[in-house]
């Protein structure tokens, strides 16, 4: 079952300008692509690490930890996430004076365009699927006035047309605007070279 926050986010994306649709018509700059890809792959905190790594090659994990001001375990987890998507490479080198291994990290920007276009295709696919659901069920959804839940007719009926989250009476949702927004979004995304 979806959490409220996830639901709200999706609802916002599909129903409004909150997702930044005014910008979507423009091709993204390379640095925006990096941010988007890194965030989608390893989360917001990883952007910090990428910025530190981008300052050179073979940046030691200790320097990354120090500059990022994050816990070493957290940094390592993020680095391995980046590594598993090929966004970062590392080598381990033995520090003979201390007798420990240190990993040195390099950001692999050559993979960014490929990952970005994959993300773009996945997102486009989700919008198309969502459009199919919405367009196949015009005005067939019921929504809570506080926007905390939405249900199709069968589900709404089972709940006696009450919101499963807050108990308020559900209202029929005019989803024609949602359909228009989704169509527009898809059109924009298809037009942008990813």
Residues that bind Zn ion (CB under 5 A): 144, 146, 148, 163, 165-166, 168
DSSP strand pairing (141-143 vs 171-173):
antiparallel
Residue 26 or 171 with smaller CB distance to Zn ion: 171
* H helices, E strands: number in the chain: 8, 6
Give min distance, CB of 142 to Zn ion, in A.
Answer: 11
150 close to 173: Cβ distance less than 8 angstroms: yes
Give min distance, CB of 172 to Zn ion, in A.
Answer: 15
Residue 125 or 158 with smaller CB distance to Zn ion: 158
Residue 132 or 157 with smaller CB distance to Zn ion: 157
Strand locations in 67-170 (E)? 88-95, 100-107, 141-143, 150-152
- Distance from C-alpha of 69 to C-alpha of 91, rounded to nearest angstrom: 22
194 alpha-carbon distance from chain centroid: 16
Residue 135 or 148 with smaller CB distance to Zn ion: 148
């Amino acid at each position: 079952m979806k959490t409220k926050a996830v639901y709200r986010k999706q609802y916002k994306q599909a129903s409004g300008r909150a997702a930044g649709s005014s910008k979507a018509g423009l091709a993204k700059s390379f640095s925006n692509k990096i941010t988007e890809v890194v965030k989608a792959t390893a989360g917001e905190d990883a952007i910090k690490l990428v910025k530190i790594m981008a300052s050179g090659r073979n940046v030691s994990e200790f320097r990354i930890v120090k500059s990022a001001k994050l816990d070493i375990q957290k940094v390592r987890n993020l680095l391995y996430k980046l590594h598993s998507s090929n966004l970062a490479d590392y080598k381990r080198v033995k520090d003979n004076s201390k007798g420990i291994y240190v990993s040195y990290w390099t950001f692999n920007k050559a993979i960014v365009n490929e990952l970005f276009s994959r993300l773009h295709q996945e997102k486009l696919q989700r919008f198309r699927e969502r459009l199919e659901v919405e367009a196949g069920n015009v005005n067939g959804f019921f929504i809570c006035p506080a926007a905390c839940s939405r249900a199709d007719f069968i589900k709404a009926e089972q709940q006696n047309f009450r919101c499963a989250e807050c108990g308020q009476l559900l209202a029929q949702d005019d989803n024609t605007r949602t359909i228009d927004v989704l169509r527009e979004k898809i059109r924009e995304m298809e037009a942008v070279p990813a």
